[in-house]
Structure 1
């Protein structure tokens, strides 16, 4: 099996894991306040990532953690996870997952704006088309919901987190950054609980769901990292969009959701634009490498 094929398989496995994580957290949100979910999920995620980081020999404490970009990443992680978890509690899983697929488009646009990466008119056009797909899913002025808006805010938070990760000191591994990203969720959940109430011991079944979600999510993140390191980025990255396929299947089987035509159409536009943007990015990278050779 080639490295690219192994990378693609790992990416698909990672996306399946993230979809299962979303399903478990959405189920738990029916009986557990979002603030409490963030505290438990953040605490468990911190432990799992710390174990992974130590197994790799990474240092958990470093002066580089004081870098401003690391702080920006933590804020983006908080915003992304907070609004995304809220959206899971308020909106259909299919809608939330569809809007999340716009994140790579925002990352490409942000890389051009903040890091000076060259993005041609074709990719800018694809990004614009992708945002049209977002509007199709949201349907502003027709059927927009607070849950969908929370999903949009969560997607933007995750995209900014990915951009901040690019600018973080190279001495900090993804696992170490994951430790502090999840750790920041604990006080965030506590603050949210202070405003919304609902603190208490969650039902055992819900606690089990959150615990399993943290394990599955950590394993998925590890598979994602392995996929990006093993295969060519331009080949492996498009398989991120399989997350939507898994989410739609779980939404139908577990929650009985039946996405309407507009949601499916908007999802197709977002995914198509994202795949095209990634393919154009690959061509641009190859062209630049050929010119330097």
Structure 2
């Protein structure tokens, strides 16, 4: 299907995506505070795998075509990385809270820019390196080393950002030969297999109310991914990607209202620096992709 470029619709879909993902993170935090993180993520992946398999079955060629790839090792690595990243971030939500975890995690586009050279062989100019430097100063502003005792748990969302950046770069790498449907299929199925292998050992009985929340969590995950796919179908990624940062706004609202978290001035300043640096790198990337 040829891609249209309805930017206003794409922006609305991206904002809706980030709102759904913010709700998903709030539900994940609540459930992971009451049950083992591995079990919570495992159940999410069961639903996710069922979703990607159902999508594959609806298309010509079915599962055989969706799973067809010449680079299965990289596809499996992507799936393992994403499942580990989700576990890491959910753990961060329970220890640091939604606000600070997401404030640090927003640096992942800068990590993508920094790692695109060694992983994909892309050229990173001095302007992007300057933006990356500003972004990491923003991370330091959030963590405030030297001004207060840095919580070692702050490394959790930073590790999550690193894993997500590598996952994103590997997704770009496999896209050279695999289509989106194939990568999506491998992401869901690999994650479900990995999380079942580790999560089934931590099964705990859940109350009916929390099963309802778990069902809602699974639905938000599928809905968010569907909205994101539709977003990239109707508009250029470079035009809508800056609006992915609205997830930080929705996350802050949920963290403050539902979990009584505190928004420190240093978090606002640091996150602002990271977002500004990230928007600059997106702008530079869009300039470089324009035909001369």
Instruction: Please say if 1:34 is aligned against 2:40.
Output: no
Matching residue of 1:255: 259
The 10-residue stretch of structure 1 (169-178 or 204-213) with the greater mean CA deviation from structure 2: 169-178
Deviation, 1:271, is 0.5
Deviation, 1:123, is 1.2
The change in CA–CA distance for 1:145 and 1:187 in structure 2 (over 3 A counts) is farther
Instruction: Please say if 1:236 is aligned against 2:240.
Output: yes
The 10-residue stretch of structure 1 (174-183 or 242-251) with the greater mean CA deviation from structure 2: 174-183
* Counterpart contact for 2:79–2:190, Cα < 8 Å: yes
Matching residue of 2:12: 9
Pick the aligned partner of 1:53 from 40, 53, 56. 56
Deviation, 1:118, is 2.4
Task: Return 5+ residue gaps in structure 1 as ranges.
Answer: none
Give the whole-Å Cα distance in 1 for the aligned partners of 2:151 and 2:172.
32
TM-score, scaled to structure 1 = 0.88
Instruction: Please say if 1:120 is aligned against 2:125.
Output: yes
Matching residue of 1:150: 156
Give the whole-Å Cα distance in 2 for the aligned partners of 1:166 and 1:114.
10
Give the whole-Å Cα distance in 2 for the aligned partners of 1:65 and 1:32.
38
Give the whole-Å Cα distance in 1 for the aligned partners of 2:233 and 2:195.
33
The change in CA–CA distance for 1:63 and 1:198 in structure 2 (over 3 A counts) is closer
Deviation, 1:134, is 1.6
Give the whole-Å Cα distance in 1 for the aligned partners of 2:194 and 2:96.
21
Instruction: Please say if 1:222 is aligned against 2:226.
Output: yes
* Counterpart contact for 2:11–2:243, Cα < 8 Å: yes
The change in CA–CA distance for 1:198 and 1:113 in structure 2 (over 3 A counts) is closer
Residue deviations 1:73-127, cap 9 Å, x none? 1231132112112112212100111122111111122222222222221111101
Residue deviations 1:154-181, cap 9 Å, x none? 1111111111111115564434433433
Give the whole-Å Cα distance in 1 for the aligned partners of 2:217 and 2:179.
23
Instruction: Please say if 1:91 is aligned against 2:69.
Output: no
* Counterpart contact for 2:48–2:218, Cα < 8 Å: yes
Residue deviations 1:260-290, cap 9 Å, x none? 011111111110100111111111211xx12
The 10-residue stretch of structure 1 (180-189 or 155-164) with the greater mean CA deviation from structure 2: 180-189
Matching residue of 1:81: 86
Matched residues, number: 286
The change in CA–CA distance for 1:88 and 1:53 in structure 2 (over 3 A counts) is farther
The change in CA–CA distance for 1:77 and 1:58 in structure 2 (over 3 A counts) is farther
TM-score, scaled to structure 2 = 0.89
1:258 is paired with a residue whose SS is coil
Deviation, 1:190, is 5.1
Matching residue of 2:277: 273
Give the whole-Å Cα distance in 2 for the aligned partners of 1:33 and 1:134.
29
Instruction: Please say if 1:18 is aligned against 2:5.
Output: no
Matching residue of 1:131: 136
The change in CA–CA distance for 1:249 and 1:171 in structure 2 (over 3 A counts) is same
Give the whole-Å Cα distance in 1 for the aligned partners of 2:152 and 2:214.
24
* Counterpart contact for 1:106–1:156, Cα < 8 Å: yes
Give the whole-Å Cα distance in 2 for the aligned partners of 1:66 and 1:204.
42
The change in CA–CA distance for 1:56 and 1:126 in structure 2 (over 3 A counts) is farther
